[in-house]
Each structure stands twice: as structure tokens, then as C-alpha cells.
Amino acid sequence: MPKKRNENIIEQNIPAGEFKAIDFFCGGGGMTCGLRQAGIHVIAGVDFDKNAQATYEYNNPGSVFIHEDITKLPLNYFAERFQIKRKDDNLILVGCSPCQYYSIINTDRTKSVKSRDLLIHFAKFIEYYRPGYVLVENVPGIVTNKESILPRFLEQLQKLGYAHIAKGVVDMSNYGIPQSRRRFSLIATRLNRDISLPAKSEKILTVGDVLGEKNGFPQIVAGHKDSTPFAHTVAGLGKVCLQRLSYTPHNGGNRLSWANIPDLQLPCYRGKDDSFKDNYGRMWWNRPSPTITTKFFNISNGRFAHPDEDRAISIREGATLQTFPKNYVFKTNSIAAAARIIGNAVPCAYAKLLGLTILQ
């Protein structure tokens, strides 16, 4: 009698010598999308956020979403289910762990303390599989925070034989991303080869290069709902917020334009003109956007108002600033859920550069 086949095993038809990756903390698939664009086979993405699964699977067919907590996932899981071999020179393990604990915009670390040590749990998989390459992306705070786990992680990489490490804090606006987004990046290899971070782009892309009517974004009003997959959907605004935007100059105006109007000024900003000046501000057409966060749909959370129109940027506009392809579909039930997936993502175009750097 032939041995019964384990239906949980997923066979990989990846040609010998080609690169493959496992994307830990994959979210809705920004890193996976970029690596696939670079020509890397992303076998699976791992994330504890069930709400990201539909978006990940729909847009990255063939890459398996694994809804698991990395701290509880058996180390041999990928060997058993995907026949991943240990010490595979063409295997890349990616670890873009949640970074709330080290984020400068976080005000209550007690709620995010679980994110502090996730890199060390990721390192256990590196030790078990000894992949040819390791990729990490995180907030700059992981470098500067005195409680950072990064030094311990780097020491572990060195002990495991990853002698060639390229790392640093980069501004993604220097790499063809139309957004000022500072992040810590790391590429490490145990192979005997030089490695570096991607080369900077010759051109700085701006909001005007990717948004606006000429780029396929028709004018809309606050509260507009787009029922198509394009998701040019934007949050609604109350009467007072619309009045505030009507006083805010186009193309980079800020809340100081209505600071002396009693009916419009917020009590928390009185006498604090130098604090949180970007909140309620408009983007500039001729500059990269500010960092796209998970709250980019709300003008009170940053400079997220459209340069000209009296509204926040739409879901698709935020995704475009994060360099998601325009046919990337966000399979969610709310603006907030889609924005969370988009804001948490590694910009696809930057992920592609990281992948190409390894391939080249």
C-alpha cells in the first residue's frame, strides 16, 4: 500500500538555483509584492493579523498566508510543510517586525511591549534554517532606542556566520518612493560576497508625479465612496473641518491659517503654534508626501489633506504613495482597515530594490 500523502504539504516547483523567500510579519503583502516583482519566489507570508489574509492572498497568488504567532510557530514548520532545506544559499528570510515599541509616534509603550523582542524570535528561525540571506526593515527608533533589541540581534547574526551585513537608516524618498519615509534597512549574508543597500535614485518623485487627475485620480469630495476595486474612497468630514480646509492654502498650507479664528481653532492648539504643525495640513505637489501612516485617511493625524481638494487623500492615493500597484486590491470592510494595511506596509518599490540588490 502506498503511503498516504500528507495534504498539508505544499510542493514547491521552484527551479534549482532560483531565489525563494519567506516573509515574516507580511501584513497585506507590500514586501512580498516587491520581492515577487524582483523575480523572487515568495513561498509564504506569516502574520498574526487575520484581517490582512484576504488582501495578501488575493494579490499574491501562490504565496501562502500563514496565520500564526511567530512566538508559537514551530521552527521546523517550513521544513515540514514546504520542504524548505536548511543552509539553502538561495533562501531569504525576511523579518519586518511590527515596530510600535520603537516608533516615535507611539505614546503608550505598555500596549506595544510585545513587539519589542520579535526580532529575537525571528532570529531563532535564522539559526534553524541558516538561509543565504536575511532582510530586515524597521523604524529608525530601533537604532536609537536605549532598550532596543537590535544590538543583540546583530550579535546573533555574527555568531551564526553572517559576516557581511549592510545596514543603515534610509529615507525612501531617495529610492524612487514619492514619500519621505525614514526606515532602518538591513541585508545580511553568510556567503562570501560583498553586500550593500540599494543605490539611490537619480530622481526624487513628488506627490505631483503620481497623484492628480493626470495620473488617473479624478476630483472627488470628502465622504466619496468608490465601490470599484480602485478604491478611490475618502473619509467624510464634518462642517467645521471642511471650513478649516477652506481656509488652508492649497499646496502645502497648514493649520496656522485659521489659528486666530475662534470657531475653528482647537483648544489643544491654542498657544502652541509650533506643535504638531503638520496636523490638518495639505501635502505639496512638488515634494514627496510625508510618511504614510495607518491614519493617513484622517486630516487630524498629520499632513494628509489633498494639495488642492478639501478632503484627506483617498485609500488609493495612500496606496500609490506607498507604491502599491494600482491593481492591488484591498480586501477589507472599512477605510480604517485598508489604511492600516497600507500604512504598515514596506513600500513595494523599495522591497523590489532590496530583492534586486540580492539578485545582482
Catalytic residues: 99
The answer to whether 46 touches 69, Cβ cutoff 8 Å, is no
The answer to whether 197 touches 187, Cβ cutoff 8 Å, is yes
- In angstroms, the CA 343 to CA 111 distance is 19
- In angstroms, the CA 55 to CA 47 distance is 12
Q: Where in the chain does DSSP place strands (E)?
A: 20-24, 41-47, 64-67, 91-95, 133-138, 164-171, 182-189
Nearest to 93 by CA among 46, 138, 126: 126
Q: What is the DSSP-derived secondary structure letter of residue 258?
A: G
* Helix, coil or strand: residue 319: helix
Listed in sequence order, the DSSP H helices in 165-204 are: none
Residue 180: how many CB atoms within 10 A of its CB?
Answer: 16
